[in-house]
């Protein structure tokens, strides 16, 4: 009993540690009690305890060393898995960047294609416009020649009549204006002048007012026959048919020196108005051709400028395409290398997966065994000295 009680000593241990000490002490005491009296000596008892301590310490050290090795292996495999996960994440980012670069390259290539197609369309359109412009220009030359031929005969008469009006002396006009009852020839000629100039009142009083205006000769000389209305010309033509003798140069000259130039002016402007009416469709067509020609030239200029912009745009797009293609190729090379590393690492981790699970299980078992053996109660030399008190 002294030996058994000497194996148990209070020392600030937990209840679980006390229980372990109690079990060990009881076990040592039971074994010691069962040997023969000749062997039941203190020296042999202490040797027995020291032997147990040596075996316990050796086993515990082996367990700890094995557990450390297992934990190191598990840690390395865990790190390998983390590295693989990191590589996968990086590879996913690289794939996303690769997709973006490839999309940008495809977009640049598509824009180049569309721009070139549009440029070809503009070139074709410009060639058609040039051809159309040349045709219209030729038509314009033909129309202008026809107009010039029509005007060539009458314009000299207009210039001659206008010059003759400019030579009328003011005294001659004053003489006519001072007449109370002018000759019929003068009334007919002045009626023709007033009607052509758009004055409907052809009374003698209206005629005198017209002749009394300052600069009347200049008004007549600068009058544009294009202002003659069709109704006024028809009325004067009727007057010329009915009173043709009044407009005869000799007859007019006998009536007044100013009447003959005015009569010639009336007849020349009537003829000129006829010609203008005849060539009016030609002039309208000429104006239309000129407008179309100007619009075509402007459009050709815009298309030409647009083609210059196209060349610049295509050059910029090609630079972008080259940049995106080069970057995509670099990313793809890095991605392929990373994928090879990932495949190799995954293969290795997969092969060691069974070892990983087995090592984890062994680590758990080693921890449990260690706890059961030594974490709560260890036999030391002090313990052996305590158990030897009997």
Instruction: List phi, psi (to 5°) of 130.
Output: -65, -45
pLDDT in tens, 325-370: 888 888 888 788 877 887 877 777 777 677 777 777 777 776 666 5
Domain 139-306 classified CATH 1.20.920.60? Answer: yes
CA atoms within 13 A on the CB side of 157: 19
What single string gives the DSSP state of each residue in 42-54? HHHHHHHHHHHHH
Query: At a CB cut-off of 8 Å and minimum separation 6, what does 15 contact?
Result: none
Report pLDDT for 375.
46
Q: How far apart are CA 161 and CA 15, in angstroms?
A: 147
Contact 379, 53 (CB under 8 A): yes
Distances (CA, A) of 22 to 17, 182, 253: 9, 168, 168
Q: Determine the average pLDDT of the residues in 216-223.
A: 91
Q: How far apart are CA 230 and CA 329, in angstroms?
A: 82
| Residue 9 confidence (pLDDT) above 70 | no
pLDDT in tens, 185-206: 999 999 999 999 999 999 999 9
Q: How far apart are CA 118 and CA 244, in angstroms?
A: 69
Distances (CA, A) of 54 to 6, 65, 184, 379: 21, 16, 167, 10
Q: How far apart are CA 12 and CA 25, in angstroms?
A: 17
Where is pLDDT greater, at 166 or 25?
166
Where is pLDDT greater, at 313 or 164?
164
At 143, the pLDDT band (50, 70, 90 cuts) reads: confident
Report pLDDT for 193.
94
Among 158-162, 245-249, 260-264, the least confident range: 158-162
Whose tokens are 């410009």? That residue is: 126
Report pLDDT for 190.
94
Please report, for the chain, the start and end positions of each structural domain, with discontinuous segments joined by +. Answer: 139-306
Q: How far apart are CA 188 and CA 192, in angstroms?
A: 6
Whose tokens are 């292996």? That residue is: 73
Q: Determine the average pLDDT of the residues in 218-227.
A: 90
At 295, the pLDDT band (50, 70, 90 cuts) reads: confident
């Amino acid at each position: 009993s002294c030996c058994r009680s000497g194996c148990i000593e209070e020392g600030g241990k937990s209840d679980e540690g006390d229980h372990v000490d109690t079990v060990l002490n009881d076990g040592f005491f039971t074994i010691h009690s069962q040997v023969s009296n000749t062997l039941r000596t203190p020296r042999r008892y202490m040797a027995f305890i020291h032997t147990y301590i040596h075996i316990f310490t050796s086993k515990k050290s082996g367990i700890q060393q094995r557990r450390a090795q297992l934990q190191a292996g598990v840690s390395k495999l865990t790190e390998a898995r983390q590295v693989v996960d990191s590589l996968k994440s990086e590879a996913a980012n690289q794939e996303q960047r690769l997709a973006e670069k490839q999309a940008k390259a495809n977009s640049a290539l598509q824009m180049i294609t569309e721009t070139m197609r549009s440029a070809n369309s503009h070139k074709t359109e410009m060639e058609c416009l040039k051809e159309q412009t040349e045709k219209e220009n030729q038509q314009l030359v033909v129309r202008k020649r026809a107009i010039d031929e029509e005007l060539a005969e009458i314009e000299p008469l207009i210039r001659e009549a206008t010059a003759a009006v400019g030579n009328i002396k003011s005294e001659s006009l004053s003489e006519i204006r001072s007449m109370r009852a002018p000759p019929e020839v003068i009334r007919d000629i002045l009626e023709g002048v007033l009607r052509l100039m758009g004055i409907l009142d052809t009374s003698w009083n209206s005629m005198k007012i017209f002749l009394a205006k300052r600069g009347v000769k200049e008004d007549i000389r600068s009058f544009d026959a294009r202002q003659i209305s069709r109704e006024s010309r028809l009325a004067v033509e009727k007057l010329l048919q009915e009173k043709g003798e009044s407009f005869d140069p000799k007859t007019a000259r006998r009536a007044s020196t100013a009447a003959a130039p005015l009569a010639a002016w009336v007849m020349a402007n009537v003829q000129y108005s006829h010609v203008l009416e005849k060539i009016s469709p030609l002039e309208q067509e000429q104006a239309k051709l000129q407008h179309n020609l100007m619009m075509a030239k402007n459009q050709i200029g815009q298309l030409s400028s647009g083609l210059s912009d196209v060349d610049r745009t295509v050059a910029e797009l090609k630079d972008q395409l080259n940049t995106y293609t080069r970057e995509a190729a670099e990313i793809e090379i890095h991605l392929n290398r990373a994928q090879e590393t990932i495949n190799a690492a995954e293969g290795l981790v997969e092969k060691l997966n069974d070892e990983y699970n087995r090592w984890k299980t062994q680590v758990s078992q080693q921890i449990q065994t260690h706890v059961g053996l030594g974490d709560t109660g260890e036999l030391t030399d002090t313990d052996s000295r305590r158990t030897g008190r009997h």
